Structure 1
């Protein structure tokens, strides 16, 4: 009984921390303005609890990001079109990139905090390598794309959180226009549908 209560308390604490961190990042003008002390105080937990649960600030940001992105990952890995693996590659590539952009537009503060976490190269982060691998594997099904690895990197660069933040915050570009511009860019990069057939 005591063990069950401790597990329930731990779960409540985790949810309280994630909710507090999400709110603080959303209200802060800069991702770097949110500290572990701030999160612990807002969540009503000890700082030691925070470090034991998440390791460090970057671990906390990653946990929050993963909680938000999980439904999208499930749709990409096993869902129906336009994101699932059964989607024709010429439709799936723009669909994947639009999904990444929409997620970052809906979670601007969180995406920016994750890319700003300062934990080495952002291109080695688990969330980036997963998106890159998924996109690269889809591009490989289009034989006339000569280098799916580089092309996947180049296409994902158009959805970086700092670029999204600049376009939205500094250039006041609407989400609809951003999505339209990205779709047009992807269409220019990909060969015409049917060129060279589909590979495995």
Structure 2
């Protein structure tokens, strides 16, 4: 059974609302974003915004989801062109790309985290990321608890922690990537040491 197609007017309203939110964010910053202000800027009823996004976190995650599309397309291209041939290469490319994605969306992610602290784990991007990392970890080291390791790897992108590392500790994104590389190497070593691992 296919998912229902979004009505044309609903799709137009969604784009108007997201564009309005981006304009307000650019003009007034993240702290001032409200659904009432977005509705007024978009020229739609506030009920339309609430029905579509439910709360500010839902709106912010919709903005993040739009940026996620570009990340996923770039990752798919790297896998397709052979520049990331092994599971370790794909996992490294994915996690490094995530560092860039989170750094670019840091303020949006912090806003979403403040609005709904556990909302990240129920968001479509997080579920997608978790599923992808589970698949790559399971391929890299069959027999490990891939779901748990995926959770640990994705904890590196917790908005508050990531922002603390970048803003308070002054770490650059390369340092974060090097740390993730160590974790990938550890998982790869476990997989290589498994005598039952397919050769």
TM-score when scaled to structure 1? Answer: 0.74
Going from structure 1 to structure 2, the CA distance change for 1:79 and 1:167 (only over 3 Å counts) comes to same
CA distance in 1, matches of 2:143, 2:100: 25
More deviation, 13-22/159-168:
13-22
More deviation, 48-57/161-170:
48-57
Question: 1:24, 1:34 within 8 Å by CA — same for their partners in 2?
Answer: yes
CA distance in 2, matches of 1:175, 1:14: 33
Residue 172 of structure 1 corresponds to 170
Question: 1:25, 1:109 within 8 Å by CA — same for their partners in 2?
Answer: no
More deviation, 170-179/115-124:
115-124
Residue 65 of structure 1 corresponds to 64
Structure 2: state its 5+ residue gaps.
1-6
CA distance in 2, matches of 1:128, 1:140: 18
| 1:116 positional shift | 3.3
Residue 14 of structure 1 corresponds to 14
Residue 134 of structure 1 corresponds to 132
Pairwise mapping of residues 1-200 of structure 1 onto structure 2 (< 5 A)? 7=8, 11=12, 13-25=13-25, 28=29, 30=31, 33-76=32-75, 78-81=76-79, 87-118=85-116, 120=118, 122-143=120-141, 146-191=144-189, 194-196=192-194, 199=198
| 1:192 positional shift | 7.1
Question: 2:56, 2:112 within 8 Å by CA — same for their partners in 1?
Answer: no
Structure 1: state its 5+ residue gaps.
1-5
CA distance in 1, matches of 2:127, 2:40: 33
CA distance in 1, matches of 2:148, 2:52: 36
| 1:62 positional shift | 2.5
Question: 2:140, 2:187 within 8 Å by CA — same for their partners in 1?
Answer: no
Q: CA RMSD in A?
A: 3.4
| 1:170 positional shift | 1.9
CA distance in 1, matches of 2:153, 2:81: 16
TM-score when scaled to structure 2? Answer: 0.75
| 1:119 positional shift | 7.0
